[in-house]
Structure 1
Amino acid sequence: MAVSEAGSAGWTDRLPGSAPTVSVVVATALVVADMVGVGVFTSLGFQVKAIPSGFSILLLWAFGGVVALCGVFSYGELGAMFPRSSGEYNFLSRAFHPAFGFLAGWVSATVGFAAPVALAAMAFGEYASAVAPFVPPLPLALGLVWLVSLVQLCGVSHSARFQLVSTILKVVLIIAFLVAGFLLPARQPVSFMPRPADLGYVASAPFAISLVFVMYSFSGWNAATYITGEISAPQRSLPRSLLTGTLIVLVLYVALNAVFLIAAPIDKLAGQLQVASIAGSYIFGEFGGRIVAAMICVGLVSSISAMMWIGPRVTMTMGEDVSALALFAQRSRRGAPVYAILFQLAVATVLLFTRSFEAVLDFIQFALLFCSFFTVLGLIRLRITRPDLPRPYRAFGYPVTPLVFLLVTAFMMYYLVTERPVESGLGTLIMMSGLGIYAIFRWRPARGAAPSLPGSD
């Protein structure tokens, strides 16, 4: 289907003389798809082990959503100011220096998206094996990654259609699960009203540590910033899609955890990884685990699709700016950065075959938090040093909301450094190696690339 035809169907739009652009609805679906993975279906068991309180658990997830929204407000302002694809690569180059942006782009282009793709694909294989035990997980994982990559290679309109349909299906299945859970006649005696003991839970170390893992479940709220250049009217649509997508996920996460708690006894959930399957067995009976596994499988399809869409856009944009990477900037007639997609597919495939994706994820967590931290810090810097820049959207609640995000992100980095010093150190080395690559390539913006801000050279 041509992009102009897809636009008439509401999937995408084409501006005269421009590249194909996606609608705000598709951009919102991308945010939802990238955020909702397996984290929300597996985290609760470890949280209720130390926080056996319905109110405190829901407050934990709500607070995580609020912190994510604080990040959304900052990224929304930056994305509206600098409407170009690639997320942190673009923002850090503008706010600080192109070398800083290259450092963030290096992590994203190499393993920052390929490793989560491989992990989600393997999780898909494991859950699919519960539904179809005669098929090994690895072939299922590889097949899904290659299938989704093929869709991405077909062009932006096909990517948009696939993303929207798969995300809607994911949300519909989750809502169906929620309705079944809330209509369950035999509810557990859990209260979601505050009690005196909740103050102690909220002020405890387990609450703070649990927040770290809740924030990982909320990661992906910035997904649309990686395809800003493909979004229709990004100055208006980008902040709207980030905010709407994050709010949808916030409601879904709180509701899911409420259903888990009212469906299954806390002592059955405590310390367990497959909390969704346990809750599903109480809601749907003997086949509840398989029903939940199928629901998660469908959800992972849209998550992998989102990451296979947004990850190559970082490599593509770097190719537009760095002559040595120009190959990755080449697009097909339908707008797909073919070589960038194939590169991410190759890295994800290698990670799947070597089963090294979990180790890579451990290594890059600190680097990803580091880049997000300095991106929001860059917003504050630009407010001070460049108040004259046009800001089509201004961060809601500034400066409180950026500071809240910075404080929580700093705590998460501190936790990783103290609890996983080796992994954090290796992640820092991976990130810093980007500076070496930058020194070799040097920054030579290609014709048409966005200029640096004065003083950033």
Structure 2
Amino acid sequence: MGTIGQGGKRPRGTLLRVLGVGFGLAVTIGNTVGAGILRTPGEIAAQLPNAAIFLAVWLAGGAYALLGALTVSELGAMMPRSGGYYVFARRAFGDFPAFVFGWTDWFAQAGTISGASIVVGECAGELFPALRGHHVAIAVATASGIALLQARGIRWGAALQNASSAAKALLFLVLLVAFFALTPGAAPDTSPAPRATGASTIPLATAVVLALQAVIYTYDGWYGIIYFGEEVREPGRDVPRSMIGGAVSIIALYLLVNLALVHVLSLSGIAGETVAVGTAAARIFGEHGGDLVRVVAIVSMISAITAFQLMTSRIPVAMSRDGLLPASISEINAGGTPTMGLLSSTGIAVLFILTGSFQKVTALMAFFFVSNYVMAFVTIFVLRRREPDAPRPYRAWGHPFTTGLALLVSVVFLAGAVSDDTRNSVHSLLILASSYPVYRVLRRFGGAWSVHAR
């Protein structure tokens, strides 16, 4: 862990403890609010019969995210080490489970960087005809350019994150004001909205569960600050504030967006729309509405790419320090940036962009991110029993009841994800199985690699 040396001087090659709640909120908004809130409402509305249930599903998904933040905050405050879920898994379960969680998290996050970069390229081509057909080159340039800015140091990365997240929030605020102020509202639905073909043949309870799964995917990202534990000035205080405050902010934003969509379009107008926000904007701004939403999407994706690159680059650093990856990956420059971690993560993302394999990674990612939830909630139970006297600057509110409820919902959700996408879930399990020989090879050389292993 990076520390401040005697006389206030920082040893060269350590992560800088310079981040606060402002960055924590920015990185949470940055890696959570993206394409999901633009695309998901239409999919969910097509499953449900009325606006009340539609909004209730978004509220329930937000309650689950907040419950997760209230519990995982204990782990983030207890283990202020950069690296994300890998750090929790290693302390609770040992090296091999930690390797699996770290390895899959690393590649899944890199896949997200590539997917978000492609969205930037596609939207840029729609805004500027001269750029059409060059979305891959634009995506590579976007991911690489943001990485170059971050390479200068964590202060540069944090400044870009703060600015891009603030711009994203401001643009959404502009849209919300316009939606509520510039339209009298849609005529109220006089009958239940027609459910999508196929959705109408399944029981309402099943439709609600499927809609809730999509909502929970859209809320994913509330835990972003756990990747920066040792870089937060006062982790015992600021990690919980960032995580819980970020979750509350996202819940408020998502509810307002969906209330605005219902106000402008009604539920039947939202149902089936690929980008419902774009449809609503077109109703107010005409042909310029689509361009405005594309600008919102580009800014949102830049903010998300910044967050994911900051997060992803810290996973291999933690693994390298523990002897599971070459020691060179844990090298950190004078500005507090894990140079090799950033370079390797960006390289993986660019490879995914060039090969188009990010789509497969995105499909597999759902299994792994829910597995992370399950692991984190189990870790709280394990460490409460194994280490009852360990310092806990923040204790999960309502434990064991809230933690148990969060774990139960996560297990059910994981089972639903496996059932809904069996093929990709099987592929995910094969990846888990194949990780063992990779781990054994890396572990064999780990002692010679890392002087930080502990």
The TM-score, its normalising length taken from structure 2, stands at 0.90
Q: Which residue of 1 aligns with 2:130?
A: 134
Corresponding position of 1:105: 102
Check conservation: 1:77, 1:395, Cα contact below 8 A: yes
Counterpart for residue 384 of structure 1: 385
Matched, 1:403 2:404: yes
Question: Which of the numbers 144, 166, 170 marks the counterpart of 1:168?
Answer: 166
Once the two structures are superposed, what CA deviation does each residue of 1:206-248 show, in whole Å capped at 9, x if it has no partner?
A: 1111111111111111111011111111111111111111111
Task: Indicate conservation of the 8 Å contact 2:32/2:219, yes or no.
Answer: yes
| Residue matched to 2:315 | 314
In the TM superposition, what are the counterparts of 1:14-413 in structure 2 within 5 Å? Answer: 16-17=9-10, 19-20=15-16, 21-109=18-106, 111-135=107-131, 136-190=134-188, 204-322=205-323, 324-413=325-414
2:326, 2:450 within 8 Å by CA — same for their partners in 1? Answer: no
Give the C-alpha shift of residue 16 in structure 1: 4.9
CA distance in structure 2 between the aligned counterparts of 1:23 and 1:293, rounded to whole angstroms: 31
Preserved CA contact (<8 Å) 1:370 1:413: yes
Q: Is the 8 A contact 1:121 1:142 kept in 2?
A: yes
The alpha-carbon distance between structure 1 residues 237 and 15, as it changes in their structure 2 partners (threshold 3 A), is: farther
Q: Aligned letter for 1:42?
A: R
1:33-91: CA deviations, max 9, x gaps? 11001101111112111213222112111111111111112221011111101111000
CA distance in 1, matches of 2:158, 2:329: 21
Secondary structure of 2:31's aligned partner: helix
User: Aligned partners of 2:374 and 2:150: how far apart in 1?
Assistant: 30
For the 8 Å contact 2:105–2:368, the answer to whether it is kept is: no
1:435 Cα deviation from its structure 2 partner: 2.7
1:16, 1:188 → 2: CA distance? 61
**Letter of the structure 1 residue corresponding to residue 382 of structure 2:** R
Contact 1:365/1:427 (CA < 8 Å) preserved in 2?
A: no
Shift of 1:340: 1.1
Give the partner amino acid of 2:377. Answer: V
Whole-angstrom CA distance in 2 between matches of 1:203 and 1:398: 32
**Hey, what does 2:192 align to over in structure 1?**
none
1:100 to partner: Cα distance: 1.1
Structure 2 vs 1, CA of residues 97 and 324 (structure 1 numbering), >3 Å: closer, same or farther?
Answer: closer
Letter in 1 for 2:398: G
Q: CA deviation at 1:264?
A: 1.7
- Please name the residue that 1:4 is paired with: none
The unaligned stretches of length 5 or more in structure 2 are 1-6, 190-201
Alpha-carbon distance between aligned partners in 2 of 1:366 and 1:209, rounded to the nearest angstrom: 15
Which residue identity lines up with residue 113 of structure 2 in the other structure? V
Q: Distance in 1 between matches of 2:24 and 2:216?
A: 21
Instruction: Single out whichever of 402-411 and 434-443 deviates more from structure 2.
Output: 434-443
User: In 1, Cα distance between the equivalents of 2:371 and 2:9?
Assistant: 39
Deviation at 1:359, TM superposition (A): 1.0
Q: Is the 8 A contact 1:40 1:253 kept in 2?
A: yes
Q: TM-score, normalised by structure 1?
A: 0.89
Aligned equivalent of 1:6: none
Instruction: Give 1:190 shift.
Output: 4.2
* Alpha-carbon distance change, 320 to 181 in structure 1, aligned in 2, over 3 angstroms: same
Instruction: Supply the distance in 1 between the matched residues of 2:32 and 2:203 (Cα, whole angstroms).
Output: 25
User: 1: CA distance between counterparts of 2:209 and 2:337?
Assistant: 42
Give the 3-state SS of the residue equivalent to 1:22 in structure 2.
coil
**Per-residue Cα deviation, 1:369-390 (whole angstroms, up to 9, x for no partner):** 1122112111012112221111
Residue 50 of structure 2 contacts residue 267 of structure 2 at CA under 8 Å; is this kept in 1? no
Q: Distance in 2 between matches of 1:167 and 1:379?
A: 31
SS in structure 2 of the partner of residue 207 of structure 1 = helix
CA–CA distance in 1 between the matches of 2:188 and 2:307? 36
What is the alpha-carbon distance in structure 2 between the residues aligned to residue 382 and residue 188 of structure 1? 52
Partner of 1:194: none
Q: Work out whether residues 227 and 310 of structure 1, in 8 Å CA contact, stay in contact via their aligned partners in 2.
A: yes
Secondary structure class of the residue paired with 2:130: coil
Residues 104 and 431, structure 1, Cα contact 8 Å, conserved in 2: no
Cα drift, residue 128 of structure 1: 2.1
| Equivalent pair of 1:167/1:302 in contact (CA under 8 Å) | yes
CA contact (8 A) 1:56 1:202 kept: no
Q: Percent identity?
A: 28
What amino acid sits opposite 1:116 in the alignment? Answer: T
Say which is worse superposed, 181-190 or 377-386, in terms of deviation.
Answer: 181-190
Q: State how far apart, in whole Å, the 2-side matches of 1:100 and 1:411 are.
A: 21
Work out whether residues 74 and 395 of structure 1, in 8 Å CA contact, stay in contact via their aligned partners in 2.
yes
Q: Distance in 2 between matches of 1:416 and 1:50?
A: 17
The separation in 2 between residues aligned to 1:203 and 1:389, in whole angstroms, is 46
CA distance in 2, matches of 1:318, 1:77: 22
**How far does the alpha carbon of each residue in 1:330-386 deviate from its partner, in whole angstroms, 9 at most, with x for none?**
011111111111111111111111111111121232122112211211101211222
- Return the offset for 1:436: 2.3
Question: What is the total number of aligned residue pairs between the two structures?
Answer: 428
Moved over 4 A (4+): 443-449
Amino acid at match of 1:240: R
Inter-partner Cα distance in structure 2 for 1:87 and 1:431 = 18
Contact 2:319-2:325 within 8 A present in 1 as well: no
- Is the partner of 2:340 in helix, strand or coil? helix
AA matched with 1:251: A
| Alpha-carbon distance between aligned partners in 1 of 2:251 and 2:325, rounded to the nearest angstrom | 41
Supply the distance in 2 between the matched residues of 1:416 and 1:278 (Cα, whole angstroms).
29
Name the stretch that deviates more: 15-24 or 329-338. 15-24
Q: Following the alignment from structure 2 to structure 1, what is the Cα–Cα distance between the partners of residues 402 and 128?
A: 46
